Copies of this chain bind each other. A is one copy, B any other.
Amino acid sequence: MIEMYQLRQLVAIADCGNLSKAAEQLHLSQPALSRTMKNLEDLLGVPLFERGKNKIEMNENGRLAVEYARKVLEDADLLVERVRAFDESQRTISVCSCAPSPLWMLIPALSELYPNMKISSEMKYHDNFLNELTKKKCHLLVMPEAVDNPEIKCIKLFEEQLYLSVPPAHPLSGYFEISLQDLEGETMLLFHDLGYWSHIHNEMKNTRFIFQQELDSLTELIKVSALPAFTSSLIIPHDTTPNRIYIPITDESAKVTFYCCYRKDDAKRFKELKIYLQNRNQELPPKK
């Protein structure tokens, strides 16, 4: 039976051109290589080299064998790589969310429900966002709308409502509600990476935004400046910034319902999550 070490040694010779260099590369003695090749030729019943008294050159058979051997070795390496990657993916739950806030609730919940699993998360949003799920780039996908797809299970998470945060001295602070149009011309503080919410400031062409990469820097800036900022129903209950007035934004686009989705072939795996989220939905509405 043909063995890996024979193939490895064969391709090393092809790569190095002669036995000595190949032996060196393989951390092997020349005689060992010489014998392995002789054995391989015996096994195949076919010469692989033209042999001179003190030189050896690969023939056509040899070159063909090398071609196949490379493929076999490559596929064997691929086996190792793919099996490891598969096992890894079996041990991790990867979440992809269209906005930051769902992750604040989902990641702790997943950590508790699946204590043996690694949780990896990512926040992004783009056209055909659902592909992230269907192309198996992630296990859980948080969408800004319900998904109607027979392959996909979709569970409501919560609503998020955008608010304007202004200091009491700000001209807008007297409003009970406000529209995005009212903010035209303002200069506003904003977190850099908002995923789905980015469409809001992308549409406000006459408003200046000061983006902050770091969330801590942002909250600090909000505290010390008099600039208006966006905040949301998810942030306000935990917001410790003093002297801020929160004004709900009335536009339809300032309100979104997030849904947590997974492929139905993962249904078994996410049974606990499903129950957890459904219970949560039954408990929460009364509190509203």
Contacts and interface: CB of A to CB of B under 8 A. Distances in A.
Interface residues of A, number: 31
B46 A61 contact: no
Contacts of A44: 80, 83-84, 87
A152 interface: no
Contact of A69 (B3, B79, B87): B79
A69 B80 CA distance: 10
A3 B80 CA distance: 11
A148 to B, nearest CB: 30
A76 interface: yes
Contact of A75 (B46, B61, B68): B68
A1 B27 CA distance: 15
B64 A68 contact: no
A76 B79 CA distance: 14
Contacts of A78: 68
A104 interface: no
Q: How many copies does the complex hold?
A: 2
Contacts of A86: 60-61, 64
A60 to B, nearest CB: 6
Contacts of A80: 2, 43-44
Looking at A7, A43, A46, which has the most chain B CB atoms within 10 Å of its CB?
Answer: A46
A7 B43 CA distance: 19
A256 interface: no
A147 interface: no
Given A3-B3, A4-B1, A61-B90, A75 B71 contact: yes
Given A4-B4, A7-B76, A69-B79, 7 more contacts: A1-B8, A2-B80, A3-B5, A7-B79, A44-B83, A46-B84, A64-B86
* 10 A-B pairs closest in CB distance: A68-B79, A46-B87, A65-B83, A72-B75, A61-B87, A72-B76, A3-B4, A64-B86, A2-B76, A4-B4
Interface of A: 1-5, 7-8, 43-47, 60-61, 64-65, 68-69, 71-72, 75-76, 78-80, 82-84, 86-87, 90
